[in-house]
A and B are shown apart, each in its own frame.
Chain A
Amino acid sequence: MQALVIAAHGSHLNPDASDPTYAHADTIRETGAFDEVREAFWKEEPHFREVVRTLEADEVFVVPLFISEGYFTEEVIPRELRLDDWDPEKWDSDGTSASQATLEADDVGKTIHYCGPVGTHDAMTDVIVQRAETATGDPAVGEGVGLAVVGHGTERNENSAKAIEYHSERIRERGRFDEVKALFMDEEPEVDDVTDFFESDDIVVVPLFIADGYHTQEDIPEDMGLTEDYRLGWDVPAEVDGHRIWYTGAVGTEDLMADVVLERAADAGADIGDARETVRDIAGSVADADHEPSAGTGAGD
């Protein structure tokens, strides 16, 4: 038997914070690839501390639903899961290259494959591109369009910026968009000046965040000048300094994220059969059916 645990932050204050976690877990449940699929949280229940004991499988794949390698993925999650032999060195990562480490959970005697975060997986690049497609409602979006990938920045750790730059570079190499830029909330180049960095009239802005909340639904739309007050919402696209800005919200809510979770587990040795095709079918059909861009609304803490 094999089980999948999706480890996310969650919130004590905002009931929507866990929505993407549940949605991606449900998509993977539909594939039947794992005998058990469980959501686990730092701020909700089941807590990281108690999730593994709820599983019957002996082999458990833990995939952190986090953007970058850092405090949560390297310190908090392994500690709370009781992975006593954990050491960040086991990932042997340059900041974006963690794949997995195989460990024993002390309280349950199960084998835990502790995977790198979803945010740094190569498949995440596709999710960012898909978000650009769903934001514009154009499955071929790219020509004549600039893409800004937005991240938090270095406030807590340098790997946060590395993940943003990593995917921006990969998308740039594909040559699909006229311009690709990595922008940040709290360091240069800043998202506030988004229009300064692009010549293209149309700019798609994709925030590399897991869940919608304060940053993606309040800070960023106001900082970019999409709206005076996030509570009033904004247009997609919105006119700013002669550019049209296509902005919806956190990339982590994109349906294709379930595919990244699956890939992380597969890289760690999970037998997922043809689950990826199923997920891509589900995500693709949702993207087709739901291509009308909608104005953002405020939410969360």
Chain B
Amino acid sequence: MTIATADLEPLLDRASAGVTFDGLRIDEEDGNYVLETPADEWHDLDETALREALETCEEYVTNWRYWQETVGGEGTARRAFLRWCEHAPIPDAGEHTTTTDGLAVPARYDALREGIDRRWGQLSITARFVDVDDPDGERVYDLWHVDDADSDLADLEVYDDPRDAREIATYDEDGRYRPLKTAPTLVSGWAFTGLSGAELVETVGFLYPATIANWHRELRGNLDVDHWTETAERQTGIYDVIDELPREAVDWMAEACCVDSQCLRRREWGYDEDDDLDVDGGDGPFPCREPCSLVVAAARKWAILESEEEHTYELELTTSELNQLEELIDAVAEGRTDEIREADVYDGANRYRARYLRAKRVGEDGLEATQVDE
């Protein structure tokens, strides 16, 4: 088997300047070349001999070509993400690299023949060779919903234009608008196949905007986190009030909005730099570096609500009715009202149960409660 000229020539062109990449090293010493891979070493090679020697390390040559010629973009988030996709070492990753990363070229080539799967939020990404039988180093990427990992491709809607991802990301399975792209409500039933590296990054950018850039910053240890107080104090106009939200309310807000069940970003911001929130930040692969626009908009509502004074009210309820209020709040908060069966009157959040409670306890002027403090 010989390496295609197109793979070899660009590498030979750079040989005299020295090449060090993914275990492949070529250096010029006294007019001759040194070639080294983790498995072998050659010395005193003239150009013809270098060419012959490189023929025996095809995987290193085609790997060099893919990363240095096709992907390029040294130091970019795009390149780092594509390397993460196949468990390749990421040079500037620092301490954040996991033990599964850093596969050497032969092991990666074996894995790429089968396809390497990685998970990014609700996305499953497969990196594989274009030509499995005779890999020339060119990778392509397939992307689908994790729930479709075992689905037959024929059962999925197949796309190849990254921009189609925008429509997929816009509505949940009930057809409701998804203003938060990292909400765990991405619909399934679609696949992108045979994407180039650049197209994969663009597609992920439409599904989970800016997650790759922020992940890359975190990987390099320069994620710029803006804590609650910084974001809140920066606001103007109708959002000027949000820095008045009480400290404890920020905890409640994070518990309401910023947990894994509501958003796949891992919250890295706290109340301020030295004051973390009590709520767990989540386990997502990509970080949340500051309160998002949905949190800011909701915080405005809560800041206004929290400015009200508390009162003591008296209202008549049976113990079961008190418990039912809790069940109703819980059902709405967990988004499970649609799952409660029509005739399941044993569930306090059942529609008939709620209507009965309203008929009994809510009069024309609302809930029959009396304020008992002055």
Contacts and interface: CB of A to CB of B under 8 A. Distances in A.
Interface of A: 11-15, 22, 26, 41-47, 49-51, 53-54, 56, 71, 75-76, 79, 107
Query: Lowest 5 A-B CB distances belong to which pairs?
Result: A46-B209, A45-B209, A50-B210, A15-B177, A53-B213
A75 B180 CA distance: 24
B163 A56 contact: no
Contacts of A44: 179, 293
8 contacts: A41-B293, A45-B180, A49-B290, A50-B213, A54-B210, A56-B76, A79-B234, A107-B224
Nearest to A46: B209
A46 B166 CA distance: 12
Given A44-B293, A53-B217, A54-B209, 19 more contacts: A11-B179, A13-B177, A13-B179, A15-B170, A15-B171, A26-B163, A43-B297, A45-B181, A45-B209, A47-B210, A50-B209, A50-B289, A53-B77, A53-B210, A54-B77, A54-B212, A56-B73, A56-B76, A56-B78
B236 A12 contact: no
Contacts of A56: 73, 76, 78
A76 to B, nearest CB: 7
Nearest to B224: A107
Contacts of A45: 180-182, 209-210, 292
Contacts of B181: 45
Interface string B188-232: 000000000000000001000110111001000000100000000
Given A50-B209, A53-B213, A56-B76, A12 B237 contact: no
Contacts of B212: 54
A53 B214 contact: yes
Interface in B282-296: 289-290, 292-294
Nearest to A79: B234
A76 B236 contact: yes
Nearest to B166: A22
Contacts of A53: 77, 210, 213-214, 217
A47 B293 contact: yes
A42 B209 CA distance: 13
A43 B73 contact: no
Contacts of B234: 79
Contacts of A76: 236-237
Contact of B214 (A43, A50, A71, A75): A50
Interface in B256-290: 289-290
A175 B245 CA distance: 56
Contact of B297 (A12, A49, A54): A12
Contacts of A15: 170-171, 177
Contact of B237 (A43, A49, A51, A71): A71
B209 A12 contact: no
Interface string B165-180: 0100011000001011
Interface string B138-175: 00000000000000000000000001001000110000
Contacts of B73: 56
A13 B214 CA distance: 26
A160 to B, nearest CB: 15
A71 B236 CA distance: 10
Nearest to B179: A12
B281 to A, nearest CB: 18
Nearest to B202: A36
B219 to A, nearest CB: 13
